[in-house]
Amino acid sequence: MPKTRLEAFSDGVIAVIITIMVLELKVPHGADLASLVPVVPVFLSYLLSFVFVGIYWNNHHHLLHATQHVDGIALWANLHLLFWLSLVPFATAWMNENDFAPVPVALYGSVLLLAGLAYYILARVLVTRHGKDSVLARAIGRDWKAVISLLTYAAAIALAFWNGWAACALYAVIAVIWFVPDSRIERYVERRQS
Amino acid sequence: MPKTRLEAFSDGVIAVIITIMVLELKVPHGADLASLVPVVPVFLSYLLSFVFVGIYWNNHHHLLHATQHVDGIALWANLHLLFWLSLVPFATAWMNENDFAPVPVALYGSVLLLAGLAYYILARVLVTRHGKDSVLARAIGRDWKAVISLLTYAAAIALAFWNGWAACALYAVIAVIWFVPDSRIERYVERRQS
Amino acid sequence: MPKTRLEAFSDGVIAVIITIMVLELKVPHGADLASLVPVVPVFLSYLLSFVFVGIYWNNHHHLLHATQHVDGIALWANLHLLFWLSLVPFATAWMNENDFAPVPVALYGSVLLLAGLAYYILARVLVTRHGKDSVLARAIGRDWKAVISLLTYAAAIALAFWNGWAACALYAVIAVIWFVPDSRIERYVERRQS
Amino acid sequence: MPKTRLEAFSDGVIAVIITIMVLELKVPHGADLASLVPVVPVFLSYLLSFVFVGIYWNNHHHLLHATQHVDGIALWANLHLLFWLSLVPFATAWMNENDFAPVPVALYGSVLLLAGLAYYILARVLVTRHGKDSVLARAIGRDWKAVISLLTYAAAIALAFWNGWAACALYAVIAVIWFVPDSRIERYVERRQS
């Protein structure tokens, strides 16, 4: 099967996820700058979640760019990824309403960890379908970056029970690592095409 | 008419349906693990509805993949399917708020039954347009799977009045049956193309 | 400019409009069939609005199918149509919450009338761009159907001040007239291509 | 990388933004014309925001039309633009709930200013990638229009602290300036193609 509809559907779901999160930004009651102060941490966590979902979209874009075709298993591996991403707004909202308390911060990290795991599974499913010597397989390689970020998520979740803000800082570090999109794939495909 | 816009619009509607359901996951007031406990059944029913809508998207993907062209009747048969799917979030929410009481569970099943019926009609409309000997007609065949799941939905709706949880278990069984996407079409089209 | 992005953006906006309307279907408090009774008129008006937005999507699909290219004016004529369509959920909700009182029913009709006018303008803009002898111009012709339905909307709005339900019935009549999509275009394009 | 998914994702996000804003139009309690009066300013600010987001979509359409390919930096420059656009519904809602008080009106202008800046950065990133002599670079040129509107936003934000309505009028002036889409690009590309 061609990959176009999988891309279009994923674009649609991620577009809705990234946009409905902003509905959590409740309008403050006052009309002065001081009334915006309590919105600041909510805004920052919205920014963090926006960046995370944006990273997934970017990497998904790169991954599918190197993909030639998809099958039924790949469709479900992709829906599995979208499922965990769809829980990001809920996890963000719970974290916000409890001033970054341990359990909500740990749940937020768990959703990110499970989304990361789902992305890893999707990449493996696609690589298996395309064969060891495909452009996709060579472009992704051993995928140390994914493994390291999954381990870092786990560490951050444990850290949340000691200090919620420290865990959030560690999440932000992972975001920065991934901020540069999957340039391995970009570079590899370019080299192949030239 | 080409089928691209029908696919794009359906992707958009299904993407919104599958994503706004998560807005039903109300953030709990407490910040500890215990306060997540009442969210668990809501989460499970969200998961079930996500899987059902995902199944429809997968099967729709396969059905349209084997389709060559669409006309005005097919557009309306497709909108009819989207209408019943759009009621899934409402039915899920009512079921959640009433601890899986008989009538809401039966309504949830009825919406699934009507969506299944609408999918069956859409498949028939497309098959009729393409002719008995088309790839599409041969790929779908008699469609026993659809007929059996429609009958099982009806049985589960009746069961709901005796025990809501048993009906939900039966819905989950149908989901598992359909989990494997319409591989008949996938296999048939592949064989034809090779 | 090619028309693909105008189609994709319109699909996205109409998909969101048609789906967020269902959020107006508030979950009833009871868990028996009787508690569904007050939902019935809301459900019917949701159905009516779904059909109206579906009609616009269908006709938009047909109109753009016959279109070769778009320019800046066409983009704004299209956004103008989407603006009025985006008010359908608001108008539907106000009508529901007031048991089909005169003013809300008239407002609902006015939104439909303005959307119809915007569609008429969009069709004219596209026809002008393609020239009198284009496939598009010949397919649409004098567009009596559009003119008649605009006049009927105006009559229904006046009727609303006498009886809200009668006006709604007249809206439904217009929906039935348009239910059959713009088969003129479909037929004309087919004949030209054969 | 091809630009199709960047276009599709942006279409999705902008479609959701432009449509969820209408959820801010709260249904009035009464059923007469008088009860619509307090909705009028909310409606006008919805209209203004709809036009602004529509302008960004139009210009984005023109900009990407002249673009040949995108890379990871362009993806993030685009997400950066979508981030500020996603805050338009929040800023509109806060402005509405406070009768166009100075700080909310200034915040609304700041969001528009930051979206304008993000659009400018995106255009620069794309021009740099395509080279000084590309169709895109020549079509955009020095981009005085963008620079002037950024300066006007800054002036309107300052003006908001003196009079909120005057600032809104200045925002509307910028909207009118941009209303005519980026016809420079349209004309330039056309000339090149002929």
* B98-154 pLDDT, tens digit each: 888 999 999 999 999 999 999 999 998 998 888 877 777 877 766 777 888 899 999
What integer pLDDT is reported at residue D2 of this predicted model?
A: 82
Average pLDDT over residues D164-189: 76
Distance CA A105, CA A97 (A): 11
Q: Is residue C181 over pLDDT 60?
A: no
Report residues of chain A scoring pLDDT below 70.
Answer: 141-142, 180-194
What integer pLDDT is reported at residue B98 of this predicted model?
A: 86
Distance CA B4, CA B2 (A): 6
Contacts of B102 in chain C (CB under 8 A): 31
Question: C141-158: per-residue pLDDT in tens?
Answer: 667 778 888 999 999 999
Candidates A175, A50, C64; CA nearest to D17 is A50
pLDDT, chain C, mean: 87
Query: A66-69: long-range contacts (C-beta < 8 A, 24 or more apart)?
Result: A66/A135, A66/A136, A66/A139, A66/A140, A66/A185, A66/A188, A66/A189, A67/A3, A67/A126, A67/A130, A67/A136, A68/A3, A68/A130, A68/A134, A68/A136, A69/A1, A69/A2, A69/A3, A69/A129
CA B179 to chain centre: 11
pLDDT, chain B, mean: 87
Grouping H, G, I as helix, E, B as strand and the rest as coil, residue B45 is helix
Q: What percent of chain C has pLDDT over 90?
A: 45
What integer pLDDT is reported at residue B190 of this predicted model?
A: 64
Q: Which residues of B touch C (CB under 8 A)?
A: 1-2, 5-6, 8-9, 12-13, 15-17, 20, 71-72, 75-76, 79, 82-83, 86-87, 89-90, 93-94, 97-98, 101-104, 107
CA-based Rg of chain D, rounded to a whole angstrom?
Answer: 18
Q: Is residue D181 over pLDDT 60?
A: no
Distance CA C78, CA C9 (A): 10
Residues of chain D by 3-state class (helix, strand, coil), percent to 5: 80, 0, 20
Nearest Cα residue in chain A from D107: A33
Contacts of B65 in chain A (CB under 8 A): 1-2
Question: B77-89: per-residue pLDDT in tens?
Answer: 999 999 999 999 9
Most distant CA pair in chain A, distance? 61
Average pLDDT over residues B50-59: 92
Residues of chain B by 3-state class (helix, strand, coil), percent to 5: 80, 0, 20
User: A93-113 b/e with 16+ CB inside 10 Å = b?
Assistant: bbbbebebbbbbbbbbbbbbb
Contacts of A61 by beta carbon, 8 Å cutoff, 6+ apart: A181, D1, D5, D6, D75
Q: Which residues of D touch A (CB under 8 A)?
A: 1-2, 5-6, 8-9, 12-13, 15-17, 20, 71-72, 75-76, 79, 82-83, 86-87, 89-90, 93-94, 97-98, 101-104, 107
What integer pLDDT is reported at residue B71 of this predicted model?
A: 85
Average pLDDT over residues D21-47: 87
Average pLDDT over residues B169-179: 86
- B contact test, residue of D10, D13, D16 with most B CBs within 10 A: D16
Candidates C176, C180, C60, C67; CA nearest to C131 is C67
Candidates B53, B47, B44; CA nearest to B13 is B53
Average pLDDT over residues C152-178: 90
Instruction: Give whole-number Cα distances, A87 to A16, A82, A97, A152, B13, in Å.
Output: 12, 9, 16, 20, 19
Quickly state the pLDDT bin for D113 (edges 50, 70, 90). Answer: very high
∠ CA(D111), CA(D115), CA(D116), 5° rounding? 115
Residue A55 or D184, more confident: A55
Segment of A176-180, B48-52, C20-24 carrying the highest mean pLDDT: B48-52
Question: C45-95: per-residue pLDDT in tens?
Answer: 899 999 999 999 988 988 888 888 888 889 999 999 999 999 999 999 999
Has the ipTM of the complex gone over 0.90? no
Grouping H, G, I as helix, E, B as strand and the rest as coil, residue A95 is helix
Q: pTM of the predicted model, to two decimals?
A: 0.90
Segment of B181-190, C26-35, C152-161 carrying the highest mean pLDDT: C152-161
